[in-house]
Structure 1
Amino acid sequence: MEVRPTQPPATPRTGPPGDEAQMRAAAMDLEASFLAEMLTCAGLGKSSDMFGGGVGEEQFSSFLVQEQAKQMARAGGIGLAETIFNALQKGATHG
C-alpha cells in the first residue's frame, strides 16, 4: 500500500483579505507543495534501507520530503513563489 503525503491543515492567517503577507505565505505554500511532488517523483522519498528500511520508513518518508521542500521554498526555491505572489498581487489590485 502506498501512503501519499497529506497537506497539513492551513494555519490561520491574520490581516485583511488580500494582505501582502497572506499572499506571500500562500505562494510559498504552493511552491513547497509543488517541490514536494517533484522530489517524490524524482525518487527522494523512496526507501533505501538507509535507516533500516521497513514499513515505518516508508510511511514517514513523505514527512521528510515535505519538510525538505518547505526549506527549499524558504531558501528561494525555483522562483515559483515569487511568480505566484506577483500574480496574486496583480489580481488583488485589479480585482
Structure 2
Amino acid sequence: MDTALPLPSLPTPRMPTLAERAAQGARAAALDESKADPGKRAQTHAQIRKAADDFENVFVSQMLGHMFDGIEVDETFGGGHGEEMFRSMLTEQYAKQVNSRGGFGIADQVYRELLRAQEVNHG
C-alpha cells in the first residue's frame, strides 16, 4: 500500500510580456520624477514616448513577419539562405515605415498607459 502524499504543484515561472517590460523600463526611468525639475520631467516623458514607439515597432514587425512566413524565397532574384536571413531585417524596415506614417495608434495608447502607471506608482 502506497502512503506517499502527492507533491504540490509548483507555479510555472512566467516571462513578463513586452508591454510589462516597457512599463518596468518607463517606471525605472521615471523613479525620481516627483523630485525632478521640469527639464528632467520632459526628458522622462521623451523616454516613455520612445519606449512606446519601440513597442509599436516590435509589434508591427512581428505582425509583418507572420505575413511573410508562408511566402517561399524566389530563386530567380537570389533567394536561398541569404534572403531568409535578411527577411527579418526587411520586415523591421517595413514596420518602421508603417509607424513613421502614423502606425496603428498602438504607441499612443501604450504611452498613455505608461504615464498612468507612473502616476499610480508615484501618487
| TM-score band w.r.t. shorter chain | 0.7 to 0.9
- Residue 68, structure 1, aligned to residue 98, structure 2: no
Note the C-alpha offset of 1:67: 1.5
Once residues 78 and 57 of structure 2 are traced to their aligned partners in structure 1, the CA distance between those partners, rounded to angstroms, is 28
Once residues 70 and 87 of structure 2 are traced to their aligned partners in structure 1, the CA distance between those partners, rounded to angstroms, is 5
Q: 2:29 aligns with which of 2, 11, 17?
A: 17
Once residues 45 and 67 of structure 1 are traced to their aligned partners in structure 2, the CA distance between those partners, rounded to angstroms, is 19
Aligned to 2:79: 53
Deviations 1:17-36, CA, capped at 9 Å, x for gaps: 23111111101111111111
RMSD in angstroms over aligned alpha carbons?
Answer: 2.2
Once residues 24 and 45 of structure 1 are traced to their aligned partners in structure 2, the CA distance between those partners, rounded to angstroms, is 34
Runs of 4+ in 1 over 4 A off after TM superposition: 44-47
Q: Could you say if the C-alpha distance between residues 45 and 77 of structure 1 is closer, same or farther in structure 2, counting changes exceeding 3 Å?
A: farther
Q: Tell me the matched-pair count.
A: 80
Structure 1: tracts of 5 or more residues without a match: 1-15
Amino acid at match of 1:76: G
- Residue 43, structure 1, aligned to residue 68, structure 2: yes
Note the C-alpha offset of 1:45: 8.8
Note the C-alpha offset of 1:73: 1.8
Q: Matches of residues 76-91 of structure 1 in structure 2 within 5 Å?
A: 76-91=102-117
Note the C-alpha offset of 1:53: 0.9
TM-score (normalizing by structure 2): 0.57
Report the secondary structure of 2:29's partner residue. Answer: coil
Q: Could you say if the C-alpha distance between residues 80 and 45 of structure 1 is closer, same or farther in structure 2, counting changes exceeding 3 Å?
A: farther
Of Structure 1 and Structure 2, the greater helix share is in 2
